[in-house]
Structure 1
Amino acid sequence: MAVAAKRDDRMGVAEYQDWVAGRPDDERWELLDGEPVLMSPPSERHQTIVFTLSRRLAELVEPKGCRVVPGIAIVSRHMDDIAPIPDVVVRCGPILPDGYASDPVLVAEVLSPSTMSADRGRKTDFYRAVESLQVFLIVYQDEPRVEVWRRQEGNAWRKQALGLDGAIELPEFGGALLVATVFAGLSF
């Protein structure tokens, strides 16, 4: 369960970065609507999906000079009150000096009961506003389902829901990811 830190005023990203740098290393925080939110430890099922998705994505993106980076925050120059940490980030370009990316090409959130509202609400709105982002995946862990949000011309977004027999088309990386492989080894 995520817990918001009690504060009287809202933080911007720079203040949050200073604040979180002073927290213990075993704590993971993200900034949502100006409030630091402590992230709870994920379930083994959640992490199995994150690991499998990361490994499968790496097979596609690394030959294109990109990499999968789990656990880094996404920031935008257009929104100063949010720095979410998606489960999976794909980015290209030089390695960052810190844990804050403003140029993701793909992000994925694996839904957890305690974070579902934020993941499908405020975070989804934020990710779609990040200019470099082309694909946003919402992966369910309690059913074999993936929502693929893809940027279209004119900054519109198209949502596609896929089941076990579907394929996540990733023309940005010259391939596709079978949904069944994301859930390999799990039963529903």
Structure 2
Amino acid sequence: MIAVKDNPPNFTPEEYFAWESQQLEKHELINGQVYAMTGGSINHGRIAIKLTALFDAHLDGSGCITGNSDIKVKIVESEDYTYPDASVTCDERDKTTTQYITYPCLIVEVLSKSTEAYDRGGKFRMYQNNPVLKDYLLVSSTSIEIDLYHKNDAGQWMIINYGAGDTIELKSINLSFPIEQVYRGLTLTPET
């Protein structure tokens, strides 16, 4: 995410929703400040599409909601809102809101050079406040690498690193799939 050039005054959530509805770009709201969401690479977009399609097909008829990068996630016990690349909520409370979800069990961020440190650090710390979140998936857009932060039954976050030949296991939605399914048809090149 990139800070808006002319920092406006702090927004309340109501002001943020009204203001953002008139903007051409999406913006996250963190501590009252808005941050413009930058566009990603072609691989970034294709990976996000593949994952949301995979989740949606798997969850068809389950009552769960699969979200793409247009669905905001409200950070629990805050007035902050983010736009992950993909999310899944199976929580009934999220069926009563129209502008965001609050209780995803799965969040996905496709990594880029400019956002990786934030996605692994500050953003993950915000997401950890969610008592329902079980899986936080960080997906490389330049190599066959996926890191899964999984909250075990004791409430501890464990990291599982996946590479070529591995099968990803998302306990939050009871789904396993080969890592190559995410990268099929992509030309992977390191970012410069």
TM-score range, shorter chain: 0.7 to 0.9
Mapping of residues 1-188 of structure 1, within 5 Å: 2-7=2-7, 9-21=9-21, 23-24=22-23, 26-70=24-68, 71-80=70-79, 82-92=80-90, 93=92, 95=95, 97-188=97-188
Aligned partners of 1:54 and 1:88 also within 8 Å? yes
Specify the SS of the correspondent of 2:60. Answer: helix
Q: 1:77 to 1:171 in 2, by over 3 A?
A: closer
Structure 1: runs of 5+ lacking an equivalent: none
Equivalents in 1 of 2:97, 2:113: separation in Å? 32
**What RMSD in Å do the two structures reach over aligned CA positions?**
2.1
Specify the SS of the correspondent of 1:56. Answer: helix
Normalized per residue, which structure has more helix? Answer: 1
Structure 2: runs of 5+ lacking an equivalent: none
Equivalents in 1 of 2:14, 2:119: separation in Å? 22
What letter is aligned with 1:163? Answer: G
Equivalents in 1 of 2:117, 2:147: separation in Å? 15
Equivalents in 2 of 1:55, 1:8: separation in Å? 36
Q: 1:104 to 1:115 in 2, by over 3 A?
A: same
Deviation of the 1:176 alpha carbon: 0.6
Equivalents in 2 of 1:5, 1:98: separation in Å? 29
What letter is aligned with 2:13? Answer: V
Deviation of the 1:7 alpha carbon: 3.1
Specify the SS of the correspondent of 2:107. Answer: strand
Deviation of the 1:63 alpha carbon: 4.3
Give the paired residue count.
185
Deviation of the 1:96 alpha carbon: 5.1
Equivalents in 2 of 1:170, 1:77: separation in Å? 22
Deviation of the 1:114 alpha carbon: 2.3
TM-score (structure 2 length as normaliser): 0.85
Aligned partners of 2:110 and 2:138 also within 8 Å? yes
What letter is aligned with 1:90? Answer: V
